[in-house]
Amino acid sequence: MSTASFRYPVWVRGDLDGFFGLMVDNLVQVLTIVVLCTTVAGLPADLIYLRILPGVAISLLIGNVFYGAQAHYVARRDRNPGCTALPYGINTPSVFAFVLFVMGPVYRSALADGATPEAAGDLAWKAGLLACLVSGVIEFVGAFFAERLRRVTPRAALLGVLAGVGIALIASDFAFRIYTAPLVGLLPLGILLLAYFGRYRFPLGLPGGFLVVLFGTAIAWGVSLLGIDWFGGVKMSAGALRSAVDEVRWIQPVFCGSEIMSVLSRPDLLLRFLTVSIPMGLLNALGSLQNIESADAGGDRFRTGPSLAVNGLGTIAAGLFGSCFPTTIYIGHPGWKAMGARAGYSILNGLFFTALFLFGCGTFLAALIPIEAGAAIVMYIGIVITAQAFQATPRAHAPAVSIALFLGLAALLVLNFPLIMGATGSEITLAELLNDPARMAVSLPALPGMLALFGANSGWLVSGLILVAMTVALIDKKYKAAAIWCGTAAILTAVGLLHSYQVQDNVIREYFIWQQVEVAAADTQPVLAEAQTIAAATAHVHAYRAFPIAIGYALLTLLFALVAWRAGCAEAEPDDMPAFEPTPVIAAAPPFREELPSIPLADSEQAPDTEERPGDEPLPPERAQPG
């Protein structure tokens, strides 16, 4: 086929199916952003609908249009009429990580310092902008170093951290929502299981995700109109919907450079959350790299550098124009390709959300569609993220991946425990509870360990990555690498980036090595040197420097270094010894090793498993979901 006669269509029938799948995914992410920003970070509605969602629109437009145009270019370059654009949208794990571990803590800390709810919400939004911008810069720079980083860091460590976020903070949270409103949530859950796990094709080829949201919304409105929303439903308001329609108007995107500069002048905010923004940026870049390779395996060869760079630019644009949430190249390119989607679905997705949010329809969407209607989709995303951590890594590394799950469980408990104490009107605060060893020993002896695993800087994302990588190195008998990972953990812990924390009433704060806890001298209780604990009766402060954990990591580093040295000596010893050949007496006996039966190698020493399993086959059309 000559270049002159080659045609790549702007729109095909499969683009409509692809658009519905990608649009529903991003729509559910937007509903999640609205709910989390309102309930966790205390952001006012105007800030969400007038600043954040227009920023989301800009970031989606940049990426979707680029990847659509890129598909046109690659199709003509390779004369590939079946070329499918890379799917692109809001990064699900980063939404939860940034709201729960950046914006939420800033909001609560500001309230504890005496700020008004409006001022605290504004500061939380600005901290989210900064975290998003840092993540975008890392994604952009990672475009030039992603391949090298992937060689250094085990895949189990990267995916294990995402598995902890996926199962503990995404899948479980939305499973709880489904069973809180089962009348709205369970039927959509069944539709989703049919479409994504059962691979059932609905009449007229309707996408499963679209039907999930449609039926969930219809049931929610039905039970509300019948007045039985108390019976396992959710309350929907026709008045709020009419008000939302009246608010539809053009919204001009606003450049947020001055807001970002205002928080850059506060190094405490920047340094405090590097343990969140840096890991999420790296995970985003490396995950996008894997998704590009997945497209390459399907016959669509996109250049890695430009693809990753634009992914980072989309996140940077999000931060500069008001959104706190990174974007990413989605997993599931084979699924969209199997739908018959080409380039049109990506461009239409970007144009759709741009028009939606720049015309102020975000309030209308939130009033029309309850988050419970799409809860099953987000729960499924969390499950897929967790399953991928086990399916895409060697079998021998599965125990290492599991380590990240209990770190995610600790994060789930630590995030909710102070909220429960505050909501129930507990007579004592979390800090007072921690300062009462007798009560702790009886009721919650493991609570200090949960807090230490979590770390006030949400350092569990980094410590989880390090622990999994260290365990992978031990499984592969790479003792020197294990010592390096463990030594890194010791240094970061001693500085206070990992495991350290201070609790003021029910608010968990950072506690770096250079910080001091401000307590009144008259009310200060004796310091417990063994636990590095400072208790203040009036201020209700409990602080923990993780020096014992740092020393433990240091001792482990020495142990692994010693084992590496011994292993190196053992490997060198046979080469250093002179060959010994005994004088035969009657006849030469067969060598000793030939008399031994063959011993099967351990899983970690065997050749890579090439057996086809259900998890190895391409995603079906309905299972194209974000990774």
Phi and psi for 622 in degrees, rounded to 5? -80, -10
> Which among 327, 326, 319, 325 is positioned nearest to 259, based on CA atoms?
319
The answer to whether the beta carbons of residues 80 and 74 sit under 8 Å apart is yes
Q: What is the mean pLDDT of each run of 10 residues along the chain (627 residues)?
A: 70 86 88 91 92 94 95 92 92 88 88 88 93 92 78 80 84 90 93 88 84 93 90 89 88 91 79 80 81 82 91 95 93 78 93 92 89 87 84 88 88 83 78 82 83 80 89 94 94 89 81 67 36 44 89 96 89 54 40 34 35 41 44
Q: How far is CA 75 from CA 68, 80, 295, in A?
A: 11, 5, 13
Relative orientation angle of helices 479-495 and 460-475, to the nearest 10 degrees: 160
Gap between the terminal Cα atoms of the chain: 36
Which amino acid is it at 151?
R
Positive or negative, the CA dihedral 610, 613, 615, 618 is positive
pLDDT on residue 389: 83
Phi and psi for 86 in degrees, rounded to 5? -65, 130
DSSP 347-414: HHHHHHHHHHHHTT-HHHHHHHS-GGGGHHHHHHHHHHHHHHHHHTS-GGGHHHHHHHHHHHHHHHHH
pLDDT on residue 154: 83
Degrees, nearest 5: CA angle 147-394-309: 20
Report how far residue 64's alpha carbon sits from residue 74's, in angstroms, rounded to the nearest whole number: 15
Report how far residue 142's alpha carbon sits from residue 329's, in angstroms, rounded to the nearest whole number: 14
Degrees, nearest 5: CA angle 496-501-505: 155
The answer to whether the beta carbons of residues 541 and 431 sit under 8 Å apart is yes
Strands 88-90 and 541-544: unpaired
pLDDT on residue 534: 41
Degrees, nearest 5: CA angle 167-172-175: 135
pLDDT on residue 335: 75
pLDDT on residue 574: 56
Report how far residue 496's alpha carbon sits from residue 501's, in angstroms, rounded to the nearest whole number: 8
Strand partners, 328: 89
The answer to whether the beta carbons of residues 96 and 280 sit under 8 Å apart is no
Beta strands per DSSP E along 459-594: 501-504, 507-509, 533-536, 541-544
The per-residue b/e assignment along 312-322, b for 16 or more CB within 10 angstroms, e otherwise, is bbbbbbbbbbb
Six token digits for residue 206: 């309707």
pLDDT on residue 415: 83
Strand partners, 501: 544
Six token digits for residue 356: 């939606």
Give long-range contacts, CB 8 A cutoff, 24+ apart: 559-567. 560/474, 560/479, 560/480, 560/482, 560/483, 560/486, 561/479, 561/480, 561/483, 563/479, 564/479, 564/480, 564/482, 564/483, 567/477, 567/479
Q: How far is CA 133 from CA 52, 98, 223, 328, 514, in A?
A: 14, 12, 42, 14, 26
Degrees, nearest 5: CA angle 448-451-454: 150
Report how far residue 508's alpha carbon sits from residue 418's, in angstroms, rounded to the nearest whole number: 9
Report how far residue 63's alpha carbon sits from residue 89's, in angstroms, rounded to the nearest whole number: 8
Compute how many other C-beta atoms are within 10 angstroms of the C-beta atom of residue 182. 14
Note if the pTM is more than 0.85. no
Report how far residue 346's alpha carbon sits from residue 352's, in angstroms, rounded to the nearest whole number: 10
Q: Which helix (H) or strand (E) holds 88?
A: strand 88-90
The per-residue b/e assignment along 434-457, b for 16 or more CB within 10 angstroms, e otherwise, is bbeeeeeeeeeeebbebbbbbbbb
pLDDT on residue 393: 85
> Which among 243, 313, 277, 315 is positioned nearest to 49, based on CA atoms?
243
Tell me the domain boundaries of the chain: 13-393, 401-557
Which amino acid is it at 36?
L
